[in-house]
Structure 1
Amino acid sequence: MTTAKRDAEQPAPRQPVADVIREAITRGEFAPNQRLVEAELAEQCDASRAAVRNALVQLATEGLVERVQNRGARVRAVSLEEAIEITEVRMVVEGLCAARAAERVVDEDKAELREIGEQMRTAVSGGDVWGYSELNKRLHSLVLRVSGQQAAHEVLSRLRGQNVRHQFRLAMHPGRPTASLPQHLAIIEAICAADPTAAEQAMREHLRSVIDALPEVGGTRFNAV
């Protein structure tokens, strides 16, 4: 049997249980304060209860889950005040990443950044809020990747996971895409111009606008997606 054939017959590696639950939380499939029942998660993840228990312990250290004595685990709710603090940290870290991306950017990155910018324009002009939200995530992820800042990647992954519900409410807020589009385009142009100072400033100004807008949507009802 050839190596290629053997590889084809092997099942795909199973995704770690913690990753499955983390993604479900960040997608909003579980509501804030919702109980996470080990037996149900074990069935959903096709894993043992011990594996689920270990995953919940890991997610508790990340701030996504909280364990309540004699009551098991539940999705940790993040207050508006904490959401603002998280975004303030993001403002510093992502500002650094934007500056580093401007120092490291190559032509291929510039083309991808500008393509995302054009798609964002199209999404806003067409009223495609969902599409714009996904492009927003792509842009921030691309800036982080181009920056080469691995430590920042780990920090931001945890912060975004904790803050996902507030981010979703803000993304769905009427008029938000129109307000944030020029901010995103400014980030793109500063990085493509290889201007670290302008890139950092553009990213910080964008996230400052997020901080300013969060109280406007803090009391709106959240529907899981």
Structure 2
Amino acid sequence: MPEERPVVAGIREAILSGEFVPNQRLIEADLSERFAASRAGVRAALLELANEGLIERVQNRGARVRAVSLAEAVEISEVRMVIEGLCAAKAAERATAADIEELRGLGERMRAAVASGDVLGYSALNERLHRRVREISGQGTASDVLERLRAQNVRHQFRLAMHPGRPNTSLPEHLAIIDAIADRDPDAAERAARAHLRSVIGTLSEVGAADAR
């Protein structure tokens, strides 16, 4: 395995978890020590992550975590709407009985999290549901693209999760995706996934309007 692979995975995970925040400088020497990698390995990892859009290189300043604007977050969600619709449709075609049972179980856990006010728990289940739909779809290329987009948009995803009333709005949207896949109805699954992402875009706009006030 090339030396930079664990460094790429480690930095990506730190960004996804919020440990590395937008505009934070990434010091090669610190990363080299943290991941027990050579400076050359760290530089190669940073180049790959720059190609993914997760970090940016600043002349004479090194690398930093790239900050995604609200306008770009909306664009990312518009792209996700198309690709996640595809994945939901494929999942409806390919889901096994065990897959459907698992998705139903996730839906019940999401319902319980909303009922108990467990926002962070609901957010984690939300991400797991989207990941399982991608996996069930068998669309490897789509999954890779969506994972990169999710990583770029992680800050805005967290803000969405914390937006008042958002779990109560998104729960029925997620349950509709599950129901369509369980019914093995690709068209309904695609419509449900697209409707959910339209709702995400609408909420992003609400968050932006609140920030502007």
Band of TM-score, shorter chain: over 0.9
* Alignment partner of 2:23 out of 27, 33, 53: 33
The answer to whether the 8 A contact 1:169-1:220 is kept is no
* Alignment partner of 1:181 out of 166, 171, 182: 171
1:50 matched to 2:40? The reply is yes
d(CA) in 1 for partners of 2:210, 2:45: 31
Given the two structures, how large is their TM-score scaled by the length of structure 1? 0.90
2:103 — aligned with what? 113
The answer to whether the 8 A contact 1:166-1:218 is kept is no
d(CA) in 2 for partners of 1:15, 1:177: 35
d(CA) in 1 for partners of 2:38, 2:30: 11
Q: Which runs of 5+ in 2 are unaligned?
A: none
Paired amino acid for 2:158 = F
Given the two structures, how large is their TM-score scaled by the length of structure 2? 0.94
d(CA) in 2 for partners of 1:126, 1:152: 34
1:16 — aligned with what? 6
* Alignment partner of 1:92 out of 77, 82, 89: 82
2:202 — aligned with what? 212
* Larger CA deviation: 101-110 vs 48-57: 48-57
Matches within 5 A, 1:153-192: 153-192=143-182
d(CA) in 2 for partners of 1:79, 1:136: 23
1:145 matched to 2:172? The reply is no
2:125 — aligned with what? 135
The alpha-carbon deviation at position 14 of structure 1 amounts to 10
3-state secondary structure, aligned to 2:189? helix
Cα-Cα RMSD: 1.6
Which consecutive aligned stretches of 4+ in structure 1 deviate over 4 angstroms post-superposition? none
The alpha-carbon deviation at position 219 of structure 1 amounts to 7.0
d(CA) in 1 for partners of 2:108, 2:9: 32
d(CA) in 2 for partners of 1:220, 1:145: 35
The alpha-carbon deviation at position 217 of structure 1 amounts to 2.1
d(CA) in 1 for partners of 2:209, 2:194: 25
3-state secondary structure, aligned to 1:94? helix
Encode CA deviations 1:92-116: one digit per residue, 9 max, x unaligned.
0000110010011110001000000
Q: Percent identity?
A: 67
The aligned length equals 209
3-state secondary structure, aligned to 1:16? helix
d(CA) in 2 for partners of 1:69, 1:180: 41
d(CA) in 1 for partners of 2:209, 2:21: 15
* Larger CA deviation: 37-46 vs 107-116: 37-46
The alpha-carbon deviation at position 215 of structure 1 amounts to 2.0
1:201 matched to 2:201? The reply is no
d(CA) in 1 for partners of 2:100, 2:184: 10
Q: Looking at CA atoms only, which structure, 1 or 2, has the larger radius of gyration?
A: 1
